[in-house]
Amino acid sequence: LETAGAVLVGALNMGEYAYDFTGENVHYGPSRNPHDVKRMTGGSSGGSGAAVAGGLVPLALGSDTNGSIRVPASLCGIFGLKPTYGRLSRARSFPFVASLDHVGPLARSTRDLSLAYDAMQGGDDDDPVCADRPIEPIAPVLERGSEGLRIAIAGGYFRQGALAQAQTALARVATALGVTSEIEIAEAKRARAAAYVITAAEGGALHLARLRERARDFDPAVRDRLIAGAMIPAAHVNKAQKFRRWYREQVLALFAKVDAVLAPATPCTAPLIGQNTFVLDGIELPVRANLGIYTQPISFIGLPVVAVPVPLKPLPIGVQIIAGPWREDVALRIAYALEQAGAIAVTRPAPARAKSESRPER
């Protein structure tokens, strides 16, 4: 990005060690949503979401292990790209879960997102999983739009639990594209559970020495999950990895029938900062663990996804455009077509109003 002319403005807030879906940080305070500063940005790349949504910068970088680009993009009402696993280098970013980590851009338009992605492409010997693939510029092909592409809506698991705002956003995007067919991603619920096992185990192993030496310095919620992950039996992790291989084969078979799949990015708009639970499908669940219920089954197998903003009132919410491996161009072309049609857009947050102060009479 610097080679392409980007200027580094500064570092941004995030969830501790990227193990977070809310954007709250016990050390530096919560990231605040520019659309309502009492609400979460989503995480873990919450500072990136807030900075782009608030207009501080035109683009920012984030990491996405289980949804940490797409959740802030959804709650802050901006665009976010999680590339194919291995497409963009993760070198010089702090790791979390090596077999799930991705790096990608967040931006205020599809074109800016594409330009950032194009600048970030290329092999890198410093990241052992970064694929040695030719650079495939996306910006020049955006205007091809969605014409000729086979698109379906994710049914089954991806319909369960989504609140009215998420359903409305998905319907608006599907209608704009003329999409009516549904496709079911089988065993997505189990994929999410397996992603949790792998995340906890790899994350716990990475931080084990640090946990032994500085356990009191951790956010208690992060610390406790990492400790639990470090104690997961190897047999459980092995089973989760075997399931991942099987699940990937099943999902890839779907892309012989379709080019892209639409799904909610989050089950709801931004919760309040400090909110611990919400109700999905009649069940009260922890917010922190469940904002990523629709993102985890996708990043689990490394598929490329663009999260696009639907400007609902009073808060925006995102929709995922999921493509097959190495087909970021498909997801971005669809996003561009939606943006040109006015079905999706980044909206300018209303300026926060300062409390009026009483003035003495003269």
Answer whether 346's CB lies under 8 Å from 108's CB: yes
Tokens representing 99? Answer: 């077999």
On whether residue 270 sits in a domain, the answer given is yes
**How many other β-carbons are positioned within 10 Å of the β-carbon of residue 140?**
10
Which pLDDT score is estimated for 179? Answer: 98
Which residue, 25, 36, 26, is CA-closest to 75?
36
Q: How far, in Å, CA of 95 to CA of 93, rounded?
A: 6
355 part of a folded domain: no
Sign of CA dihedral 161, 258, 21, 351: negative
93-130 burial, b for 16+ CB within 10 Å, e for fewer? eeebbeebbbbbbbbbbbbbbbbbbbbbbeebeebeeb
Is residue 63 situated within a structural domain? yes
Q: Give domain status of residue 7, yes or no.
A: no
Region of 339 on the Ramachandran plot (φ > 0 left; ψ -120 to 50 alpha; else beta): alpha
Domain count, the chain: 1
115 Cβ neighbours under 8 A, 6+ residues apart: 4, 139
Residue 89 covered by a domain:
yes
Burial of residue 235 (number of CB atoms within 10 Å: 0-12, 13-18, 19+): exposed
Residue 349 in domain:
no
Q: Considering the domain boundaries, does residue 10 fall inside one?
A: no
φ/ψ of 171, rounded to 5, equals -65, -40
pLDDT at position 351 is 74
pLDDT tens string, the chain, 362 residues long: the values are: 999 999 999 999 999 999 999 999 999 999 999 999 999 999 999 999 999 999 999 999 999 999 999 999 999 999 999 999 999 999 999 999 999 999 999 999 999 999 999 999 999 999 999 999 999 999 999 999 999 999 999 999 999 999 999 999 999 999 999 999 999 999 999 999 999 999 999 999 999 999 999 999 999 999 999 999 999 999 999 999 999 999 999 999 999 999 999 999 999 999 999 999 999 999 999 999 999 999 999 999 999 999 999 999 999 999 999 999 999 999 999 999 999 999 999 998 977 654 444 444 33
Three-state DSSP class for residue 1: coil
The structure's pTM equals 0.95
Whether residue 81 lies inside any domain: the answer is yes
* 3-class secondary-structure state, position 71: helix
User: Residue 107: its pLDDT value, please?
Assistant: 99
Range of the domain at 97: 16-341
Q: Where are the alpha helices (DSSP H) in the chain?
A: 46-53, 70-76, 110-120, 164-177, 188-206, 208-214, 220-230, 234-254, 287-290, 296-299, 328-341
Q: How many helices (H) and strands (E) does the chain have?
A: 11, 12
User: What's 32's domain CATH number?
Assistant: 3.90.1300.10
Task: Tell me whether residue 249 is exposed, middle or buried, using C-beta atoms within 10 angstroms of its C-beta: 0 to 12, 13 to 18, 19 or more.
Answer: exposed
